Structure 1
Amino acid sequence: MKKALLALIATMLISGCSNSNTTASNAPASDTATEQNQTHQVTDQWVGRWTGVEGLFLEISKDDFAGPGHYLLHMRYGLDADQIGTFEGQATAEGISFNRGDGSQLLRAGDGEATGMKWLLEKEDCLVVKTGEGYCRD
């Protein structure tokens, strides 16, 4: 959680230092593009493998075919045989939104406590889908 917050602050500081020759007539479009760029810069840092409990895992990769801010989420999210798959995700201001068999989901930054699982309680760098489903890095 701390790393994600620091990354967001650093991104905001860097973007504030760039020069821009944007005119007032197209400023809203530029603001939207900047916001989207900052959003996926944060979620780009989530790319890689995250570990859950009892063999659960989450592997995030960029979906280069779909473009910036799009991801492929390969995950085992339950112990049943059908609770594994690869899902398309898209960066949002809150995290990465995606759909799977149990409905629309949002992957967001958190800590071990936010996962709701005692085995991950001491972890600080986690991604949470919902209470009882989270993945952390050491």
Structure 2
Amino acid sequence: MIKIALALCTLILISGCAHDSNTATSGASDSGTSAEQNAPHHQATDQWVGRWTGVEGLFLEVSKDEPAGPGHYRLHMRYGLDADQIGTFEGQATADGIRFNRGNGPQLLRAGDGEATGMKWLMEKEDCLIVRTGEGYCRD
């Protein structure tokens, strides 16, 4: 009886190890598939390259950061009326838009319309990029 119990335990352990190695193998291919699915984020954000206009002289200029590679951008912007509210920031494409850091912390530049900017002067616009409500830039 003890020999049968030991044999069953051995079989269970062996089958468990075989299952783990299959999981690891299938997990590796899943992560490769996931990486392939995440790679093209920059295809959408590449369409944002160019100049965008805000209100009262505010602007955003999106350009590709060629040395950094696909999905990397330089964001030159005047984002406020104070003299120090202008700068150039490095951004990277994500599924949600372009992530970048500014003096007031991490930011996300995302697509939207004039209504999403929350600014009455841009309400009628359809092609806009928004950092947050009250900070948006649109194209005519």
| Counterpart residue number, 2:50 | 48
The answer to which structure, 1 or 2, has the higher relative contact order (CA under 8 A, 6+ apart) is: 1
1:116 aligns with 2:118: yes
Alpha-carbon offset, residue 66 of structure 1? 0.9
C-alpha separation in 1, matches of 2:50 and 2:96? 19
> How far apart, in 2, do the equivalents of 1:25 and 1:101 lie?
39
Whichever structure has more helix as a proportion of its residues is: 2
* Pairing partner for 1:32 from 26, 31, 34: 34
Q: Quick check: 1:69 aligned with 2:98?
A: no
Identity %: 77
| Uncovered stretches (5+) of structure 2, i.e. residues with no partner | 1-25
Instruction: Could you list the structure 1 runs, at least 4 aligned residues long, displaced by more than 2 angstroms after superposition.
Output: 24-38
Give the drift of 1:57. Answer: 0.3
Q: Which runs of 5+ in 1 are unaligned?
A: 1-23
CA-to-partner distance for each residue in 1:17-46, whole Å, 9 max, x for gaps?
xxxxxxx78643442333233211000110
Aligned length: 116
CA shift for structure 1 position 93? 0.7
Could you tell me which amino acid in structure 2 is paired with residue 96 of structure 1? I
* Aligned-partner Cα distance in 2 for 1:71–1:31: 25
Q: 1:25 to 1:133 in 2, by over 3 A?
A: closer
| TM-score, structure 1 normalization | 0.78
State the partner residue of 1:57.
59
How far does residue 102 in structure 1 lie from its aligned partner after superposition? 1.1
Q: What is the distance in 2 between the residues matched to 1:111 and 1:98?
A: 20
Corresponding residue for residue 84 of structure 2: 82
Q: Distance in 2 between matches of 1:65 and 1:94?
A: 23
| Structure-2 separation of matches of 1:83 and 1:93 | 27
TM-score normalised per structure 2:
0.77
Q: Which of these residues, 125, 134, 137, is aligned with residue 136 of structure 2?
A: 134
